[in-house]
Amino acid sequence: MRIVVVGGVAAGMSAASRAKRFDPGAEVVVFERGEYISYGACGLPYVLGGAVDDWDDLVARTPEQMRGRGIGVRLRHEVTGLDAQARTVTVSGPSGVCTEPYDRLLIATGVSAIRPDWARTDAAGVHVLREIPDGQAIARSLEGARRVCIVGTGYIGLELAENLCRQGLSVVMLERGDEVGGNIVDVEYRRRIRAELEAHGVDVRCGVTVEGLTVREGRVSGVQTDTGLVRADTVIVAVGVRPNVELLKAAGARLGKTGAAAVNVRQETSVPGIYAAGDNCETVHRVTRRKVHIPLGLTANRMGRVAGVNMAGGDATFPGVVGTGIFKVFGLGVARTGLGQADAERLGLDAVSVDVESTDHASYYAGAAPIHVRLTGERGSGRLLGGQLICSNPQSVKRVDVLAAHLHGRGKVEDLFQMDLAYAPPFSGVWDVLLVAADRLQRALR
């Protein structure tokens, strides 16, 4: 059995490791076009901000470690072609172009950062952030820089704003929508995020359309918008990502309506012998039962494990996601899972949301911080649809995991209220804020 993996980061290396463990006799080869494998891309903003010391600290496994486990790793090797009938891939590497056979093939090519037409330039100082080399290029660009413009206010943009401010840089954020944060949380909570950014000196401008860049002596000098020029010596484009599905399209594999690879619960594509896993795949949202494309690290690793077992002859399935996310902006922790009110309304669900403000632990115990919780439920069924949390003690929003676990079981709001949650004054009130919110939502749904 020869198993070929295209892409050596989260999904690819998880798959390779799992396949080799499940079938030690299989030949497992990973082709990675870059210079790193198995690293935590989510940590990139924190290296730029100094919270993480070095790029190498993000690396979980080196090529040498993986080779020691019997997995062939070939860096700077890009798979440029695929013949599904012959079961071969075309690989371009330092020694030239060659053809490699496979019995089972995994496409784990992830996503690419979107570069709008205005950002396609040879001018220095214009960047995206997806991989370690991107981060290294930004770090070099920031040497001597004074003012950074971040275009886009999703997860990456928000994390970059904090970390670049901590390096003493002046930061301006541009957002085409009417508020920061896209659809991460409902608009009331996005306003709180914006207030936190502005309280720490970030210049936030919403409702702005970027029209182009200005360049001086080969380096970007500003961003031209429909409301005027924003001066900056470094520009980071963080307007979203698109799945890398070119190889899958060439093989005739079916794509979903999201534009990502359509796979079954075993991570199999529509082409026999070809699997896909990670950020280039769509999956099922367990709350809505609809196909979604939500590229996140844990999802990619889990998809990779499932694909690895199945390619090696086992039987594993990926159950889907509930859309859980969490991040920090300065002193504010933000988390969400499932559907918000706006999400539910777009889907035509009869949804109700309640907001509760409390403290993250007993108010009489030192250090109690305000925490805001929004729960969303469905009329008629009484089902919990989702939750959102914001707290000035960032660690406290990890409560979102309780909600995520409940959503995986398609649980009701009443069941959430009945949960036996832990209580001690340093950790929560006797009635945790989630229980208070569930009680209030129960009454609103009647």
Active-site residues: which are they?
Answer: 42
| Strands of 132-261, DSSP E | 147-151, 170-175, 203-206, 210-216, 219-225, 228-231, 234-237, 241-243
Cα separation, 11 vs 15, whole angstroms: 6
Both tokens assigned to 320: 């889907």
Cα separation, 190 vs 175, whole angstroms: 12
Cα separation, 11 vs 19, whole angstroms: 12
Q: What is the DSSP string of 400-433?
A: HHHHHHHHHTT-BHHHHHT------TTT--SS-H
- For the chain, the distance separating the N- and C-terminal CA atoms, rounded to the nearest angstrom, is 58
Which helix (H) or strand (E) element contains residue 249?
Answer: helix 246-250
275 closest CA partner among 316, 319, 241, 242: 316
Cα separation, 351 vs 345, whole angstroms: 7
Pairing of strands 332-338, 325-329: antiparallel
